[in-house]
Amino acid sequence: MTETEIVERVQCLVCQRMAGQQAGHDVDHVLRVLKSAREIQAEVGGDRFVVELAALLHDLGDAKFHDGQERSAEFARDILSKHSVDPSTIEHVATIVDTISFRKAADPATLSLEAKIVQDADRLDALGAIGIVRTIEYGAAIGQPFYLSDNPGGKHKTAIDHFDEKLFKLHDLLNTDAARRIAGQREQFMRTFLDQFRHECGETE
Ligand code: ADP
Ligand code: NI
């Protein structure tokens, strides 16, 4: 099998296995991460095959869908070993999917170029119009209001808090200039959205 054929097969498998998943980790998230990762790789270099496989497999074993256990690395090893991928590539991909999540906050100095690319692509998907929709979907899935007009001292958590707690921090955490450029434009759009939202809620004149 050629590398292109392996990527196509893995993509098919991931689409089947993630069908029906929601809460921001549907298969469209994975396909968008793959697209962004390819664009970044074309600009900064690195091993395209590793980048593609890691992008496709990075959320396959998300803890939210596996009783709180993160199983993406295990699933990646399992799938790739059945597709005649060489052991060092398998280990590299497994390491990437195991280390890139926001929660793990891995030291960027320890990440390979390919890991940095996939991490940036994943973070970009939390920004812009898509990021806004995912934030709304996530909040709705856990029964959290998006916004509360009567919330003294921010006593109740809302999805809108998530913008400051995480989303507006992402730009500075990105690894590549290619991603930072895209992020700048997406962040600007989110700020415009929040300004308009607050204006319509009567918070601003
Ligand atoms: P990832 O693992 O891809 O970094 P998460 O699983 O943490 O992302 O979140 C999936 C999506 O839901 C992302 O777009 C993220 O910004 C959003 N999200 C995560 N936590 C919250 C929250 N507490 N409130 C609203 N949105 C959230
Ligand atoms: Ni992801």
pLDDT tens readout for residues 96-131: 999 986 567 778 889 999 999 999 999 999 999 999
Complex ipTM: 0.95
Residue 72, pLDDT > 90, answer no
Which domains occur in the chain, in start order? 1-107 (1.10.472.50), 126-205 (1.20.58.1910)
Query: In whole angstroms, what is the distance from residue 130 CA to residue 118 CA?
Result: 17
Q: Are 57 and 72 in contact (CB under 8 A)?
A: yes
Which pLDDT score is estimated for 177? 97
In the predicted model, is pLDDT for residue 41 greater than 90? Answer: yes
CA of 104 to the centre of ligand 2 (A): 13
* Ion ligand 2 contact residues with beta carbon within 5 A: 59, 122
Residues 6+ apart with CB under 8 A from 145: 139, 156, 158, 159
pLDDT of residue 194: 96
Pocket test for ligand 1, best of 142, 157, 162 (most atoms within 8 A of CB): 162
Q: Is 61 in the pocket of ligand 1 (CB under 6 A)?
A: no
- Atom 5 of ligand 1: nearest residue by CA position: 24
Q: How confident is the model at residue 68 (pLDDT cuts 50, 70, 90)?
A: confident
Report whether 131 contacts 193 (CB < 8 A): no
Which residue shows structure tokens 């390979």?
112
Q: Are 176 and 121 in contact (CB under 8 A)?
A: no
What mean pLDDT is predicted for residues 38-63? 95
Least confident of 2-6, 60-64, 97-101, 191-195: 60-64
- What is the rounded CA–CA span in Å between residue 165 and residue 171? 13
- The atom of ligand 1 lying closest to the CA of 167 is 16
- How far is it, in rounded angstroms, from Cα 126 to Cα 26? 13
